[in-house]
Amino acid sequence: AKDYELRQYETAKWVSTVIRGETQKEAMRQGFWKLFHYIQGKNEKEMKIDMTVPVTCLVKSGCTDFKISFFVPFEHQDCPPQPTDSDVFIEERKAAALFVRSFGGFASPEKYAEEADTLARTLRNRGQPFHEDFFYTAGYDSPFKLFNRHNEVWYFKK
């Protein structure tokens, strides 16, 4: 469709942390740094790992817990180094079909919510079944990139 895509993602490992009781913006900041320390060597192998994209944030309606995640690079998918920070963990996300809406600019939590609402409305209007109680935000750019930024919101297909 012109205003969203349906993508199939394979099973993959992500390094994640859950930040509780903060605003989404603050949770993203805290979560990003915890995960950044992991890829900078705060892991059992003291290994530096390349930064990957996207950085995702799980947003559940009515919940102030946010799960922030980095994709584990392909070369470490089979055996990612274990985190040494007890708040950071490796998770395996199962293969899934996702409805994706892309947009540009600097994405705030409000902008992500607005884009998620637009995508949800579109999917409902088209009779597409999806899990409505949560969505993921996905950011692809460094905060220093000023132009041609790429952001997404994801809903899981039922």
Q: What is the per-residue pLDDT for 35?
A: 98
Residue spans per domain, the chain: 3-154
pLDDT tens digits for 101-135?
A: 999 999 999 999 999 999 999 999 999 999 999 99
Statement: residue 1 has pLDDT above 90: no
Q: What is the per-residue pLDDT for 80?
A: 98
Q: What is the per-residue pLDDT for 10?
A: 97
pLDDT tens digits for 70-97?
A: 999 999 999 999 999 999 999 999 999 9
Please tell me the CATH superfamily of domain 3-154, with its number: Regulatory factor, effector binding domain (3.20.80.10)
Q: What is the per-residue pLDDT for 86?
A: 98
SS (H, E, C) the chain: CCCCEEEEECCEEEEEEEEECCCHHHHHHHHHHHHHHHHCCCECCCCCCCCCCCEEEEEECCCCEEEEEEECCHHHCCCCCCECCCCEEEEEECCEEEEEEEECCCCCHHHHHHHHHHHHHHHHHCCCCECCCEEEEEECCCCCCCCCCCEEEEEEEC
